[in-house]
Homo-oligomer: A and B are copies of this chain.
Amino acid sequence: MKYDLQLCIGSRLRRLSRIADGHFRSKLSEFNITENQMTILFVLNKMGKVEQGKIGQELVLERSTISRNIKLLEKQNYIKRTSDYRPEIELSKKGNELVQNLIPLWEETMDELILKLGKSGLTHLTELENSLN
């Protein structure tokens, strides 16, 4: 083989994302929510009332993934949606409160990860994004 299997860029990136997810997940154990859902809540917190599709654009997620996550978040009353076919989504009061509770945990996790990565690590991540787009 031309390259060593250990170099496989796919499995390496998969592993890295599992590691990072694990950090966030361990902080979320008391909440009935996932890393991905947390990110969606944060997007809503930032963007206010938006069309569902905008969330996917922001996070580069499949429509179906967004659709199902929105449904899960709605089931727990963290978000409200208009009844249109292309609904507009926004945080509910309960969702807003959750976000306020999640932010410090998210920040702690980011602190943790940034401590591990260092400034140069963050640069490496940014560079990877720039070249892989």
Contacts and interface: CB of A to CB of B under 8 A. Distances in A.
**Identical subunits present:** 2
Interface in A16-67: 16-21, 23-24, 35-36, 39, 42-43, 46, 59-60
- Contact size range, A: 35 or more
A73 to B, nearest CB: 16
A12 interface: yes
A15 B20 CA distance: 12
Given A2-B110, A107-B1, A129 B10 contact: no
B128 A9 contact: no
Interface of A: 1-3, 5, 7-21, 23-24, 35-36, 39, 42-43, 46, 59-60, 103, 106-107, 109-110, 113-114, 116-118, 120-125, 127-129, 131-133
6 contacts: A10-B24, A11-B36, A11-B39, A15-B60, A15-B129, A117-B132
